[in-house]
């Protein structure tokens, strides 16, 4: 079964308390800038609509949201960002994808390579691990919702899979079904805990506790880099490591 991996959901739910608010703001604003290149009106730009919703979820102030849209449409300077996906391997041969938004490719690739090496992994060639992932819509819901409730709406509006991921339900859909499905859930009063389009591994590798801790340190070091937007990896942590988070 394809999974978003439990460690990702735990990070979502805790909101990574140690991540500085500024980092969340930067990440949310960059996603708006990139999305707004496809048009500054969220009514006609699903990616921008999703980016604004994500920015509101981390309490990015409205003036910063508006400024990021203007940067993306070119009305304001500062929108010159490259969107790049780096690929590599972590401890235990786990596949890692790193999505970045940067105004300086050379700096970013050097920093990401350094983090991989320091974390016991290595950068790979383009295409080396991306084939192990698919871009999908992923919604998480807390367990106050029942599987039947989610299924009733989900199956009617393009959901492919409902996964029991311990403390949350996870609903997957194809990228093109993301907006209609989100709207259907919200119309039914089923607001998701998180909703995003991201890279979902086709299969997850079970790792031992020691490897799992090393992988989490690598993921967190990557996520703490200012240019990194998202980190995806295909591993599942053993219960004892999940309990430590």
CATH for 56:
1.10.10.200
Q: Note the pLDDT of residue 193.
A: 84
Q: What is the pLDDT of residue 191?
A: 86
| Residue spans of alpha helices (H) in 103-224 | 105-118, 147-156, 178-187, 209-223
Dist CA 35 CA 73 (whole Å): 9
C-beta of residue 50 within 8 angstroms of C-beta of residue 197:
yes
Confirm whether 161 is domain-assigned: yes
- Per-residue pLDDT tens over the stretch 77-128: 988 999 999 999 999 999 999 999 999 999 999 999 999 999 999 999 999 9
123 and 148 belong to one structural domain:
no
* Residue 242, in any domain of the structure: no
Domain, as residue range, for 147: 132-201
Q: Is residue 54 part of a domain?
A: yes
SS3 label, residue 224: coil
The whole-model pTM stands at 0.85
Q: Are residues 51 and 159 in the same domain?
A: no
Q: Which residues of the chain have pLDDT under 70?
A: 1-20, 245
Is residue 118 assigned to a domain? yes
Same domain, 219 and 120: yes
**125 and 211, same domain (yes or no):** yes
User: Is 217 a member of any domain?
Assistant: yes
pLDDT of residue 4: 58
Residue 8 is predicted with a pLDDT of 67
The label of the residue with tokens 């994808």 reads 97
Query: Which CATH number characterizes residue 101's domain?
Result: 3.30.70.980
| Residue 241 lies inside a defined structural domain of this protein | no
Residues 101 and 138 in one domain: no
- In-domain check, residue 4: no
Q: For residue 26, tell me if it sits in a domain.
A: yes
Instruction: Give yes or no: residues 136 and 197 share one domain.
Output: yes
Closest to 83 in 3D by CA, of 115, 51, 116 = 51
The tally of domains found in the chain comes to 3
């Amino acid at each position: 079964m394809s999974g978003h991996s439990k460690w990702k959901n735990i990070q979502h739910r805790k909101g990574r308390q140690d991540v500085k608010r500024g980092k969340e703001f930067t990440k949310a604003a960059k996603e708006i800038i990139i999305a707004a290149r496809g048009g500054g009106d969220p009514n006609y730009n699903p990616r921008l609509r999703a980016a604004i919703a994500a920015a509101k979820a981390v309490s990015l102030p409205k003036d910063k949201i508006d400024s990021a849209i203007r940067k993306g449409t070119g009305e304001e300077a500062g929108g010159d960002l490259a969107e790049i996906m780096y690929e590599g391997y972590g401890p235990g041969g786990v596949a890692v994808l790193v999505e970045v938004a940067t105004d300086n490719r050379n700096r970013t690739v050097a920093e990401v390579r350094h983090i991989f090496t320091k974390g016991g992994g290595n950068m790979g060639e383009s295409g080396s691990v991306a084939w192990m992932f698919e871009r999908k819509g992923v919604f998480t819901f807390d367990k106050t919702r029942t599987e039947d409730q989610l299924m009733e709406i989900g199956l009617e509006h393009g959901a492919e899979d409902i996964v029991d991921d311990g403390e949350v339900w996870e609903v997957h859909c194809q990228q093109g079904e993301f907006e209609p499905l989100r709207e259907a859930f919200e119309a039914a009063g089923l607001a998701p805990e998180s909703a995003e389009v991201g890279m979902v591994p086709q299969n997850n590798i079970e790792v031992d506790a020691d490897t799992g801790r090393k992988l989490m340190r690598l993921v967190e070091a990557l996520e703490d880099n200012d240019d990194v937007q998202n980190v995806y990896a295909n591993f599942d942590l053993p219960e004892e490591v999940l309990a430590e988070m």
